[in-house]
């Protein structure tokens, strides 16, 4: 049984869809917090089991028969280390043959404020004795394309990443990578640094948006604090605004750049291009 946690999340749904191309549905378990959200997965023959990171008994029940477990990192920032430990412990009890975790690009040295929770989780995975594969995912391109409608409406794209290059890829690219590792018949790497094939600056993103929309949308680089305040001003919750501005500031120093091409090698095709991502968003 291949167990996928967070299977009703945006990445989790794409992982299940990708796995279904190579793996019989009956061999896939969607481990989800709320089974009602997974009715569509059950309809495709996927086994749906309740698995709440805050409820160890639910994890034990969900992991029965686990050969491989994918832990998709939780979105409950600040709670992630105990939640992830609970999942690792349950995978140990279930004697899973492979444990896969979605970490962050260069988690061991990353300056992103998100990185420490991933570092701690990686350490717990290593200490567990499980055979593991750490998928150190770079940025989702959707983190940026999701804001393009707003940029068009305001006539400018704001950010704090300066000239930093961002090797982003689509969620679907990272999902295919997770599915490739989970469905591999042979050995897999303990660590993959995964990122998009082509890095871009936010000025290049703004230029592509301008080209495709026919409207001039310049990039306005702001100091981190000002960008954070701007995000709060447009209605983002303060912690999220802080996180996004922090990520941009780290990106300015290269934290989200990578030219290893491990992601496209793993999935056997190029990752999404900036032009295609902007086109899809528009």
| Residues lying near ligand NAP in the complex (CB under 6 A) | 6, 8-12, 33-34, 37, 51-54, 72-76, 83, 102, 137, 139-140, 143
Nearer to ligand NAP, 102 or 264 (CB): 102
Nearer to ligand NAP, 75 or 216 (CB): 75
| Residue 164 φ then ψ, to 5° | -60, 135
Give Cα separations from 215 to 138, 212, 236, 282 (angstroms): 29, 8, 26, 12
Q: Shortest distance, CB of residue 20 to ligand NAP, whole angstroms?
A: 17
Best CA proximity match to 185, nearest among 47, 23, 46: 23
Residue 23 burial class via C-beta count within 10 angstroms: exposed 0-12, middle 13-18, buried 19 and up: middle
Nearest residue to the partner ligand NAP, using Cβ: 9
CA 223, 227, 233, 239: dihedral to nearest 10 degrees? Answer: -120
Return left, alpha or beta for 30; rule: phi > 0 is left, psi -120 to 50 is alpha, else beta: beta
Q: Shortest distance, CB of residue 155 to ligand NAP, whole angstroms?
A: 26
Distance CA 103, CA 190 (A): 12
Distance CA 218, CA 155 (A): 7
Nearer to ligand NAP, 172 or 210 (CB): 172
Q: Which two tokens stand for residue 192?
A: 């993959």
Nearer to ligand NAP, 12 or 210 (CB): 12
Q: Shortest distance, CB of residue 186 to ligand NAP, whole angstroms?
A: 26
Q: Shortest distance, CB of residue 165 to ligand NAP, whole angstroms?
A: 15
Beta bridge partners of 4: 30, 70
Q: Shortest distance, CB of residue 264 to ligand NAP, whole angstroms?
A: 17
Q: Shortest distance, CB of residue 54 to ligand NAP, whole angstroms?
A: 5
Nearer to ligand NAP, 140 or 227 (CB): 140
Nearer to ligand NAP, 164 or 210 (CB): 164
Nearer to ligand NAP, 99 or 139 (CB): 139
Q: Shortest distance, CB of residue 130 to ligand NAP, whole angstroms?
A: 19
Residue 102 burial class via C-beta count within 10 angstroms: exposed 0-12, middle 13-18, buried 19 and up: buried
């Amino acid at each position: 049984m291949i167990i996928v946690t967070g299977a009703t999340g945006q990445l989790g749904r794409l992982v299940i869809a990708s796995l279904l191309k190579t793996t019989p549905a009956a061999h896939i378990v969607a481990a989800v917090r709320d089974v009602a959200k997974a009715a569509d997965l059950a309809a495709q023959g996927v086994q749906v089991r309740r698995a709440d990171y805050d409820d160890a008994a639910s994890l034990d029940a969900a992991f029965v028969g686990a050969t491989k477990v994918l832990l998709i990192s939780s979105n409950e920032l600040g709670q992630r280390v105990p939640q992830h430990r609970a999942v690792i412990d349950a995978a140990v009890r279930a004697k899973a043959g492979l444990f896969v975790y979605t970490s962050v690009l260069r988690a061991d040295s990353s300056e992103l404020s998100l990185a420490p929770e991933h570092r701690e989780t990686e350490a717990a995975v290593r200490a567990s004795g499980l055979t593991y594969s750490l998928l150190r995912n770079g940025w989702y391109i959707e983190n940026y394309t999701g804001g393009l409608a707003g940029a068009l409406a305001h006539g400018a794209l704001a950010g704090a990443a300066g000239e930093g290059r961002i090797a982003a890829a689509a969620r679907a690219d990272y999902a295919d990578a997770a599915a490739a590792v989970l469905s591999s018949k042979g050995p897999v790497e303990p660590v993959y640094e995964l990122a998009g094939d082509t890095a871009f600056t936010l000025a290049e993103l703004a230029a592509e948006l301008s080209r495709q929309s026919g409207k001039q949308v310049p990039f306005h680089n702001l100091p981190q604090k000002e960008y954070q305040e701007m995000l709060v001003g447009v209605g983002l919750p303060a912690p999220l605004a802080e996180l996004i501005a922090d990520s941009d500031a780290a990106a300015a120093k290269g934290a989200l750049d990578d030219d290893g091409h491990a992601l496209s090698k793993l999935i056997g095709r190029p990752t999404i291009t900036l032009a295609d991502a902007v086109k899809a968003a528009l």
